Amino acid sequence: MGLEYDFDIVAVAQDAIDPEHAKTAVTGAPAVRAQFRDIKTADALRGASPKIRRIFTESGFSLDTGEGGSPNGFYAPAEEEDRHRILRRLFANIRNMGVQGEYCGEFDFWQFLNHVRAAQPGTGPRQVEKARPMQRRRPPTEPSRPNRQTVPGRIGFALGLAVIVFVALKYLAEQGATP
């Protein structure tokens, strides 16, 4: 199973950023970052080459994870403008810096791009799977024993042993020793 490339837009805490870059230059809105929802995806990005990580972080992605409120394949409609701005920066950075020949590890650019293209704005709480009742494991009724050898296995072993004894006796006979 591949990675889940869903991400959410989160506001960056004021004490975590440089005051000079606290507002975006164009809109004056608070700075935001894109956080992947799945920790495996963030780990895969952390495991990629430094250049790949730099492209993503300079575009506005965070290497941390967060829990979003949207179902997989959807994002909050209020995040659409920030999402498109971060993705435009990402694609511009990819064009300018290039990713050819860089180690991506488990992070698959094609799957990421396909997911970005297929994601839609949507609302509603995140679907949580219902917990299944835990099934108790039954203790074995009788102690487990190793399987007994089969008849063809015993015959094969006996024939192999007979051949070895025959060869050993023939060798001793050629040497002049008798048993």
Question: Would you place residue 8 in the very low, low, confident or very high pLDDT band (cuts 50, 70, 90)?
Answer: confident
Helices (H), 12-150: 39-46, 50-59, 80-97, 109-118
What's this model's pTM, rounded to 2 decimal places?
0.59
pLDDT of residue 18: 46
Q: Does an H or E element contain 10, and which?
A: strand 7-11
Q: pLDDT at position 124, please?
A: 47
When pLDDT is averaged across residues 4-17 and rounded to a whole number, the result is 77
Give the full edge-to-edge strand order of the sheet including 61-65. 7-11, 32-36, 61-65
Domain residue spans of the chain: 7-121, 150-179
Q: Which residue has the higher pLDDT, 129 or 168?
A: 168
Could you report the per-residue pLDDT of 25-58, keeping only the tens digit for each? 455 567 889 998 888 988 999 999 999 999 999 9
Query: Band of the pLDDT at 125, cuts 50, 70, 90?
Result: very low
